[in-house]
Structure 1
């Protein structure tokens, strides 16, 4: 089977070092497997998006010589596909409308208990939840081996369309990975927990799940995840070499001394030649000084 990987940022701000790590890791894994590397812009949450970020992300990837295969898929163009699947599940009884609020769920202990499962509610002011009758409580990660997930969370009927009409990440990402023939997902370890939910959707759809490789999260000196929400600084498009060298070292692939200062194309070529997922850090979180 031809390897297909992807990098799927949300346009909520410019790329920072943590997102560069995810981009480089997924790119090198795809190239080392003689595969394709796709870029998808996950723009299904407009309230969190920053105008111009999608174009800025693509310019940064280009500046770092992280060139993708084919065109860019924007999730906002896939709304009809998401809705069609939801309608199929509503008709078959695999999904249902839920009018419970976050406050009600929190007051009841924090986990949704299936309150609306058999109530046959209307769509007015409701979210849509998918029925989880066979929860996925473990999966195998290429680097970390067997990962066991929280049973109570894995058993929860989770939201696939929010009450504000926006489609949920877990549904969109699975449908898009199937649509794009993705065979392996390489991403940050902050997304380990949702993996069980995503595998359960593959099973409900009768599809073979992708394989997963979760990369360590980059933390700042205070132990906080580098993120747009934490105001992580944007990486430098005009001088990409230092960030690229730091990202590869963070991923356990420090470049040899003689290549320090080389163009990013040279650094990436060395990375493809020497890439081994077994060299990745065993930790799921690593403090970076970059």
Structure 2
């Protein structure tokens, strides 16, 4: 009988600003899921989009995680050190997949942002590299249940017009390289999972299990994000912050007495119940 692989999870923030409540919630959820399975929890800094990055943000994220007792296993991975691996994966997809040049602008792309090979770039045109997808990769989400793609054949960018590698390519290459077995992340990334599963299949890589947690919104229903100016978490109020995100995650541990972040995280790990989120589609803060 085949044995189950050791649980390997990850938290993968982009250094576009400091952690806010929404990103802390995702970090806590992925951390608790890994620790409750006696697994490994990795930290990956997705720093492959220099125009959007904020100087010092990566270090700020590391310090905030440490302040909240969220210590990761193994050395943190910076995607900016993995460009050669992305180039090799792109070559592999070009050989076995349906990769094509595209000169479309956002204004000319069709529904879902797909080109569907309708443009005809010249040799002089600045182009992106896209890959055709079948749009048939469903999966069983551990929180949301069975998921099926809502669109048929489509395509997505692997390398942008500015020659930067796209998130869609980098994330699957690194999940495969780090042997990630379980991905716990925000529901706002749910739609990307279908494409990522197809890319993993094309690269002949193992497909992880997915659990998408509800996103945190403000009172008007707008998702908390760095781009929308979400307030950075106060590292000096780490215990209070952890209680708040555990409450948002519908965890019983939010109400238990704990004198330190370590004690609260140990309680939260022992009582971790991701199924408590099944009835929640959005989390409102404050």
TM-score (norm 1): 0.91
Mapped pair 1:125 → 2:123: no
Q: Which residue of 1 aligns with 2:141?
A: 141
Q: Which residue of 1 aligns with 2:276?
A: 279
The Cα RMSD (Å) is 1.9
Deviation at 1:216, TM superposition (A): 0.9
Q: Which of 24, 41, 46 is the matching residue for 2:45? A: 41
Q: Which residue of 1 aligns with 2:205?
A: 207
- State the SS of the aligned residue for 2:154: coil
Q: Which residue of 2 aligns with 1:231?
A: 229
What aligned pairs does 1:58-73 form with structure 2 within 5 A after superposition?
Answer: 58-73=62-77
Q: Which of 157, 160, 171 is the matching residue for 1:159? A: 157
Q: Which residue of 1 aligns with 2:118?
A: 115
Structure 1: gaps spanning 5 or more residues: none
Q: Which residue of 1 aligns with 2:58?
A: 54
Structure 2: gaps spanning 5 or more residues: none
**How many aligned positions are there?**
282
- State the SS of the aligned residue for 1:286: strand
TM-score (norm 2): 0.93
| Shift in CA distance, 161/60, structure 1 to aligned 2, threshold 3 Å | same
Deviation at 1:109, TM superposition (A): 9.1
Q: Which residue of 1 aligns with 2:107?
A: 103
Deviation at 1:89, TM superposition (A): 2.7
CA contact (8 A) 1:14 1:53 kept: yes
What aligned pairs does 1:166-177 form with structure 2 within 5 A after superposition?
Answer: 166-177=164-175
CA contact (8 A) 2:247 2:254 kept: no
| Shift in CA distance, 273/240, structure 1 to aligned 2, threshold 3 Å | same
> For residues 166-189 of structure 1, what are the alpha-carbon distances to aligned partners after superposition, in whole Å with 9 as ceiling and x for unaligned?
111111000000000100100000
